[in-house]
Structure 1
Amino acid sequence: MDVEKYLSRIGCSAPCSPTLKTLRHLHLNHLLTVPFEDLSIHTGERVKLDLPLLYEKIVLKRRGGFCYENNGLFSWLLSQLGFEVHILAAQVKNRFTGAYGPPFDHFIMMVTLDGHRWLCDVGFGSGFQLPLSLETDSPQRQSHGVYRLRAQDKLVFMEVQSGGDAVKPEQDTAWNALYKFTLEPCQREDFRAMCDYHQSSLSSIFFCKSLCSLLLADGRITIIGRKLIISSLPTEGDQPVKTKTDLTEEEITELLRDKFGIVLSSPFTPKDVDIVPPPVNY
């Protein structure tokens, strides 16, 4: 890894000392510059988790990736910068089927700083923007939402607030789980089988839907199949706004280039089909 090239890719500059301020800055900038996308699956390519290949794809070719790629590479960067990083495995609650995925469904990481543990995740899509403290189950308000980490026995549920008042999240609030995980450290090799699963299973969102999404300062821009979705943050006194637009293949190519900085080297087939619920709700 050329650390300076990676930092430049995400709009940061060296040196970066291993502090909470640095961690927050890197985490947010990664989400603002590196798309969450599965386009390789829909161009006939295979996603491989070898770190040099992830570096080449995301840093040198200026692509994005799904969790195993974005978080896999980001965890390597943090280690290179001197952070204490532990890889963790999560199971995502599928928003289309309501079912949790199998073990090693999602790659996340825990960073320990001065005895304080932080959850980091730059590979989820519409998740949190800054590291979440693992030392509290209280709501943690960020620019794009309110989140909490709720412990239940050995499991931790990462949840987002829906409804209620963002200023007073304890009032009239519903919490939706996005994924669950344990604090047991994992190895990179542990995720290879599930990486293959997500490229071939009818129960995987990544196989069933081509997608590309990027955090914006004032919302999020996403392409799923042939549809463009733009979400904006609520302004004072107003509700958040979400617009959906049907796209031609030419428009998809233009948007990938102009909004995400992605130019694909292989023919791309947009896809958006129903997901088959897994046989087991893990």
Structure 2
Amino acid sequence: MPDDLFDQDAWLGRIGYSGSRAPTLTTLRGLVDAHSSAISYESIDVLLDRAPKLDLASLQRKMIGSRRGGYCFEQNMLFRGGLRSLGFDVTSLQARVVRGLAIDAPRPMFHMVLLVNLPEGTYLADVGFGNLAPTAPLHLVADVEQDTPHEVMRFIRMGDELTLQSRLGNRWEHIYRVVLLPRVDAEYEICNWFTASHPDSPYRSNLIAARPGLNRTRITLFNARLNVRHATGEAERRMLGDKSEYRDVLTETFGIVLSDEELSTALNTVAQKGVHGAPHPFFA
């Protein structure tokens, strides 16, 4: 498939969306919810020393044809392709992740997000932030609480940037700071290469997967630690044991099917280099 072609029907079938295709806010809400629920966040290719490819043809082969998931650049590049095929006006942005950090932490712009221009205003769409990706488009305005199928979220100002926060239980937690400057795809290629190649990248040493669950839950796998977090902030935790248990969770919970060799290689790398205590704060 040529890089600039997008199979709209295949994407909508993959995410189970059968609603209106008109480029409206209602459609955008349905698409964000459907895509987030159907395609898991995961970075297993990086763990297997395979840098993800970001051209549309490769993304469609992996996440639609092979029914795999992906991390932020893959997820939001694919989602952007789908939105544009439907006639949405989309601007590509970046964000600085401050999950588990101070709001003004000096962070690089290593996360991809999308700005969607609609008659109602500008909205953030992000289907690629693991266990806290907004499951609804968010109006890009400060100091307004916005409900989603999962958490209540809001933006607050931090200089020229807007910090996305999520209400977890009775506290607000920072997620990332949105930089309101349009980006070009070459900048994502640079970030993707760094994230997938740097020896200290958490993705190269840890098995990570996440998806939103039913009843406002969030399900996260970080190495052996499987978490189901409820909207109250309470969490159910389970430690995985043998290879068959990992396979069952990846397949049944996250819809990720790996070959026996891929799973063995991933688990061997985690055993040698992975974090064996609490998860990285970005994935807590």
With normalisation by structure 2, the TM-score equals 0.84
Compute the displacement of 1:72 (Å): 0.8
Looking at structure 2, the residues matched to 200 and 163 of structure 1 have their Cα atoms a distance apart, in angstroms, of 36
Q: 1:280 — aligned with what? A: none
Match of 2:34 in 1: 29
Structure 1 ranges of 4+ moved more than 3 A: 94-101
- State the match for 1:146 in structure 2: 152
**Which amino acid letter does the alignment assign opposite residue 15 of structure 2?**
I
How far is the alpha carbon of 1:116 from its aligned partner? 0.4
The equivalent residue for 2:252 is 258
Q: Could you tell me whether the CA contact under 8 Å between 1:209 and 1:273 is conserved in 2?
A: yes
Q: What's the counterpart of residue 46 of structure 2?
A: 41
Tell whether 2:256 aligns with 1:267.
no
Alpha-carbon distance, 1:253 to partner: 1.3
What CA distance in whole angstroms lies between the structure 2 residues aligned with 1:119 and 1:28?
13
Q: Provide the rounded CA distance (Å) in 2 between the counterparts of 1:152 and 1:44.
A: 36
Counterpart amino acid of 1:147?
M
2:178 corresponds, among 174, 181, 206, to: 181
Higher helix share: 2
Q: What's the secondary structure of 1:267's corresponding residue?
A: helix
Give the AA of the match of 1:221: I
Aligned to 1:171: none
2:124 corresponds in structure 1 to: 119
Opposite residue 126 of structure 1, the aligned amino acid is N
Q: Deviations over 1:19-66 (max 9, x none)?
A: 111100000111111000001112232211111101110111001100
For 2:197, the aligned partner's letter is S
Deviation at 1:129, TM superposition (A): 1.3
Q: 1:100 to 1:106 in 2, by over 3 A?
A: farther
Following superposition, the deviation at residue 94 of structure 1 comes to 4.6
Aligned residue number for residue 52 of structure 1: 57
Name the Cα RMSD after superposition. Answer: 2.3
Aligned residues: 261
Q: Which one of the candidate residues 97, 100, 108 is aligned to 1:102?
A: 108
Contact 1:150 1:158 in 2 (8 A): yes
Cα drift, residue 227 of structure 1: 2.2
Q: Cα distance, 1:14 vs. partner?
A: 6.2
- How many Å separate the matches in 2 of 1:84 and 1:274? 43
Cα separation, partners in 2 of 1:252 and 1:163, compared to 1, 3 Å? closer
Whether 1:244 aligns to 2:250 is no
- Change over 3 Å in CA distance of 1:202–1:95 after alignment to 2: farther
Instruction: Work out the CA distance in 1 between the residues paired with 2:120 and 2:138.
Output: 14
Q: Which moved more, 1:62-71 or 1:108-117?
A: 108-117
